Amino acid sequence: MMNIILFLIASLLITLGGVLITISVHLIPVGGAPAAMAQATGVGTGTTQLAAGAGLTGLLVAVSVHLLSGDVLLSIILGGIGSAIMISIVMLISNIGYIYGIGIPLASGKAVRDPMTKDRQDIYVSKGTEGHGIPTAAFLSGIVGGIIGGIGGSLIYSVIYTVLHSQTDFVFSTPAALTISILLSISIYFINAVIASYNIGGTIEGYYDPKFKKLPKAIIVSAVMTFICGIMSLFIVIQQGGAL
Amino acid sequence: MNPTGSRSEQKTKEDKFFLLEKPALEGLLISLLTIYAAVLGGPIVSFTAGVGMVFAIIWAADAVRKISKYGLGTGVPSVGMFGIGLACIISIFAVSVNAFWSPMIGVVLALVIGWISGKLINKILGMNIPSMEKRIAEITAGCTLAMIASFIVIAGTLESTIVFSSYILTGISALGFIGIAVAVFHAYNANLGPDEAQDRTKMLTVLDALLLLLILGIAAFFMGYGSGATLAYLIGAGITIFMSIAFILISFYKFWTYVKRDAWQITETGLLPSEEDLN
């Protein structure tokens, strides 16, 4: 049995991971169904799908690095980079589709000038739409979001795995410990992605979007929910640590 | 097809206690009964848990249908993934606490945590969707029951050691996770629109749940066969497979009947036009 201080620290670290995931979803340019028809800025799919794609890639990278090197810190950082690479590929390919497939310039509907390049945006936005494609600022915001989200997901995974491994009567095989940690961290990932998605109402362009100011509300909800889920996950891990 | 009536009438309808609604009552009672029948009867009757899984999924899918009517703004799948994320943790937690009482513990925990999360989302995030708390609690509870039922379909029991070694560590948990989520949200997501009809959506839910049950049954059968399980376990898995195939055919036929009933016209597209026709 682990002592209560370590238990608290672990659950707080899991909560931090959940909050990081929530922040990351606010940074990724999600367009939802309108963006799939090139009528809103962002990637043309929902937050849940984007979170699944980027988050699971990050977890995959983190788990493989952890398995090969055994270094927790390295796996957390590389998990973030893996997520960022995945989200960049998604944004790049959708931009190619928007530019060469639909034939539209990349323009933000929320900002008059791009916050990064200072290029004029409003004159390129087609009438009746809220921007289209993924302009520079949204793209960079998405990469940062990917890094933060990947770090959050890998952090949750690493904490659960470390707690599982620190049990004195630890008898899990390595794949077994990995499976449990991944299953629990994926569940927490989805919960936080959906909370953030409800806060932004399904679409957001990036850090310069007015909806980004609603972030503190999502952090409160996410922290509460992740704390509950984190305590339950830690209980499962401690209860089952020596059982198999 | 939207129920007409004034806003106050709809509000009183939404304020009803969830057990007074037919899908919730059916889903809760039938799935609990069938899960306990499978727990008490041993692996040979594990197929009854499959029936329970279908009813639990119907309950959750009905709640998804009712909440998504208000327009979440994030797509129907989001609420399904939220439910399954919570349900996955809660069901494993419940099984870890106590094997026999895990369905009860799971449902109560899911209702409480789902209600809390719905309240937080509604009040703090400002979604302001009527009955959000109740519906998220129902979705989470339905998903939890479906998850626990799928434990029995695969493991044949609720003993946490066996559930962990045969369901979670083999990776079938990933199939159960996404399979239940898809069965819960797919039906309404595919049928939504002004001509959405409850019986058609429900039949598609049944079809989705049975397809998942078929895959789980096949997985259970071959996993048991490979690891030298008892004859009773193999018979239970075999009955799951044949039962789900039979009901898949029936439910697909009924779904197709409903589609033809609701469609204004069914035309055949014919072959692709030749190049001369296009010019």
Q: What is the DSSP secondary-structure string of B7-55?
A: HHHHHHHHHS-GGGSHHHHHHHHHHHHHHHHHHHH-GGGTHHHHHHHHH
- Residue A237: pLDDT band (50, 70, 90) is confident
Which residue in the set B81, B90, B92 is minimally distant from A194, CB to CB? B81
Q: How many domains does chain B have?
A: 1
pTM value is: 0.89
Which residue has better confidence, B67 or A173?
B67
Q: CA of A229: which chain B residue's CA is closest?
A: B89
E-strand ranges in A9-121 read 40-41, 107-108
Q: CA of B125: which chain A residue's CA is closest?
A: A199
Q: Do A47 and B78 touch (CB under 8 A)?
A: yes
Which residue in the set A198, A224, A244 is minimally distant from B164, CB to CB? A244
**By the CB < 8 Å criterion, does A183 face chain B?**
yes
Residues in A touching B97 (Cβ below 8 Å) = 239
Q: What is the mean pLDDT of residues B199-228?
A: 90
Q: Is residue B12 part of a domain?
A: no
pLDDT at B9 over 70: no
Which residues numbered 85-104 in B keep a CB inside 8 Å of some CB on A?
Answer: 85-86, 88-90, 92-93, 96-97
Say what the ipTM of the complex is.
0.90
Q: Is residue B24 part of a domain?
A: no
**By the CB < 8 Å criterion, does B160 face chain A?**
yes
The C-alpha angle A177, A24, A187, rounded to 5 degrees, equals 35
- The answer to whether the beta carbons of residues B192 and B245 sit under 8 Å apart is no
Query: How is residue A25 written in tokens?
Result: 């979803």
Q: Write down the pLDDT at residue A241.
A: 64
Q: Write down the pLDDT at residue A171.
A: 60
Where are chain A's structural domains? 4-33+44-89+135-241
Q: Do B72 and A198 touch (CB under 8 A)?
A: yes
pLDDT at A36 over 80: yes
Average pLDDT, chain A: 87
Q: CA of A234: which chain B residue's CA is closest?
A: B93
Q: List pLDDT tens digits, range A116-172.
A: 888 888 888 888 888 888 999 999 999 999 999 999 999 999 998 888 877 756 566
Query: How is residue B236 written in tokens?
Result: 């239970």
Q: Write down the pLDDT at residue B215.
A: 93
Q: Write down the pLDDT at residue B3.
A: 46
Q: Write down the pLDDT at residue B273.
A: 78
Q: Is residue B267 part of a domain?
A: no
**By the CB < 8 Å criterion, does A240 face chain B?**
yes
Q: List pLDDT tens digits, range A1-34.
A: 557 888 889 999 999 999 999 999 899 998 888 8
Secondary structure of residue A45 in the 3-state scheme: coil
Which residue in the set A191, A199, A243 is minimally distant from B86, CB to CB? A191
Q: List pLDDT tens digits, range B71-114.
A: 777 778 888 899 999 999 999 999 988 888 999 999 999 999 99
**By the CB < 8 Å criterion, does A235 face chain B?**
yes
Domain that holds residue B183: 35-262
Residues in B touching A186 (Cβ below 8 Å) = 85, 177
Q: Could you tell me where the DSSP H helices lie in chain B?
A: 7-15, 22-41, 47-68, 76-97, 102-123, 132-155, 160-163, 172-191, 198-226, 231-262, 275-278
Contacts (Cβ under 8 Å, ≥6 apart) of B31? B52, B53, B55, B56, B59, B103, B145, B146, B149
- The answer to whether the beta carbons of residues A83 and B112 sit under 8 Å apart is no
Q: What is the mean pLDDT of residues B167-181?
A: 89
Q: Is residue B271 part of a domain?
A: no
- Residue B12: pLDDT band (50, 70, 90) is low
Q: CA of A203: which chain B residue's CA is closest?
A: B74
Distance CA B191, CA B155 (A): 34
- Residue B6: pLDDT band (50, 70, 90) is very low
Which residue has better confidence, B204 or A174?
B204
